[in-house]
Amino acid sequence: MEEIFDIVDSDDKVVGKRKRSEVHGNPNLIHRSIAIIIFSRDRRIFLQQRSLMKDTDPMKWTISVSGHVGQGDTYEKAAERELKEELGINISLTQIAKYLVRSPQETEMTALYTAVSDGPFSLSVEEIMDGRFFSSEELSREVKAGKIDLSYSGRIALEKIGWLK
């Protein structure tokens, strides 16, 4: 059965609901998502490489955890669920921002969280191909050299915290 998402307006008020396949092909339908950036104790960021099976941005690198908020769910519950599903952990999260992400294929109201953990993580093989920690300098160097191709929403989240310009 296909996931159903709440459709929201630019003020994050629910105005309807639609199937996942509809929102991923229509940038006029704003739906909710979460993004989590995990810092190590020495201030590196854990990034993941999305699997080939992902319907958006397969094989691209992105922030530690991301996902959609299901119909009737809260940002907090979705963040906790995605953290457990993708990395196999439960840790304390701090919401630092909420913003609109408009890509060519979809529009998301995204709640951005941060957390601190050195792992170990149990990566979901269905969702994640690879993952590792990066310093700010290492990430910038690898992006500029073309060794890492960032997802659209991952790049925006990293810009929000000042790691990319």
DSSP assigned state of 150: B
The 10s digit of each residue's pLDDT in 34-49 is 999 999 999 999 999 9
Extents of the domains making up the chain? 4-160
Write down the CATH superfamily of domain 4-160. Answer: Nucleoside Triphosphate Pyrophosphohydrolase (3.90.79.10)
The 10s digit of each residue's pLDDT in 62-82 is 999 999 999 999 999 999 999
Asked if residue 120 has a cis previous peptide bond (ω within 30° of 0), the answer is: yes
Would you say 36 and 82 are in contact if contact means Cβ atoms under 8 Å apart? yes
Distance CA 116, CA 77 (A): 18
The 10s digit of each residue's pLDDT in 118-158 is 999 999 999 999 999 999 999 999 999 999 999 999 999 99
